[in-house]
């Protein structure tokens, strides 16, 4: 089953527009943070760390997708916001702070919504 799911995801990634991929990244980041929040409450700290690392990877990918030359101030502001989110997640990971996870999740949800409106 894992192989079939992996093949499906690879096909989906290769046939999806760049805008849709960004939305998928936002969805994944939001999902990882919701799962990490649950793992903290259930005291599954190792899994929490893995999920926060995945969310950090998503934010890093979103950040690397910015076109700093064409994006001007908007791209720079987005970069700063992504750095803020990464810092909050690192702190949340150390402090087991679900509030910080919720804060970053809310930011990602608002960015996703704004991105969908623009596209």
* Assigned token pair, 51: 């999920």
Other CB atoms within 10 A of residue 48 CB = 23
CB crowding 72-83: b at 16 or more within 10 Å, else e: eeebeebbebbe
Q: What is the mean pLDDT of each run of 10 residues along the chain (119 residues)?
A: 57 73 97 98 97 98 96 96 98 97 98 92
pLDDT value, residue 11: 57
First to last CA, the chain: 34
* Domains of the chain: residue spans and CATH: 18-118 (1.20.120.340)
The residue with tokens 């934010």 is 59
pLDDT value, residue 7: 52
- What's the whole-model pTM score? 0.86
For 37, 57, 82, 92, 105, the CA distances from 89, given in Å and listed in that order, are 11, 11, 11, 5, 10
Q: Report the distance separating Cα 97 and Cα 37, nearest Å.
A: 8
What number of residues does the chain have? 119
pLDDT value, residue 16: 75
pLDDT value, residue 13: 58
């Amino acid at each position: 089953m894992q192989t079939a799911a992996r093949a499906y995801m690879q096909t989906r990634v290769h046939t999806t527009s760049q805008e849709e991929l960004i939305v998928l990244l936002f969805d994944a980041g939001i999902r990882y943070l919701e799962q990490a929040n649950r793992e903290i409450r259930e005291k599954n700290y190792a899994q929490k760390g893995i999920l926060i690392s995945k969310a950090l990877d998503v934010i890093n990918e979103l950040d690397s997708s910015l076109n700093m030359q064409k994006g001007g101030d908007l791209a720079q502001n987005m970069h700063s916001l992504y750095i803020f989110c990464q810092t909050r997640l690192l702190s949340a990971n150390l402090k087991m702070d679900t509030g910080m996870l919720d804060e970053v999740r809310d930011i990602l949800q608002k960015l996703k919504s704004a991105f969908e409106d623009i596209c």
